[in-house]
């Protein structure tokens, strides 16, 4: 459900203009957030990262930042995301 609400926010806000790969990365990262009652996801964004010389995919990696709050505390989590040739997003949480 959380992924759906983020996708809806991406589609309903033309100013964001996220690419399909960026949207897939944000949704995949949001799905890894802890399941806490009352959690609210705030801002999310992607930042293109340089691809290593031997990068196997035509899609460069992106950094995903997601702000969320629950139980009176706010956090920002960071992820590295890659989208493979099949369009599947793979995320790894980075240390804050």
SS3 42: strand
> Residue 50: how many CA atoms within 13 Å on its side-chain side?
2
Instruction: Evaluate if residue 45 carries a pLDDT over 80.
Output: yes
14-38 burial: b if 16+ Cβ within 10 Å, else e? eeeebeebbbbbbbbbbeebeeeee
Instruction: Evaluate if residue 11 carries a pLDDT over 70.
Output: no
Q: How confident is the model at residue 57 (pLDDT cuts 50, 70, 90)?
A: confident
- Strand order in 89-94's β-sheet? 40-48, 62-70, 73-83, 89-94
Residues 26-38 pLDDT 10s: 999 999 999 999 9
Question: Would you state the structure tokens that stand for residue 85, as one six-digit string?
Answer: 């040739």
Whole-number pLDDT of residue 7: 45
What's the whole-number average pLDDT of the chain? 85
């Amino acid at each position: 459900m959380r992924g759906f609400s983020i996708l809806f926010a991406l589609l309903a806000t033309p100013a964001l203009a996220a690419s399909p790969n960026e949207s897939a990365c944000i949704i995949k990262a949001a799905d890894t957030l802890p399941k806490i009652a009352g959690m609210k996801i705030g801002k999310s964004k992607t930042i293109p990262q340089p691809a290593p010389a031997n990068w196997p995919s035509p899609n460069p990696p992106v950094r995903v930042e997601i702000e969320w709050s629950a139980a009176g505390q706010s956090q920002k989590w960071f992820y590295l995301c890659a989208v493979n040739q099949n369009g599947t997003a793979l995320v790894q949480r980075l240390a804050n």
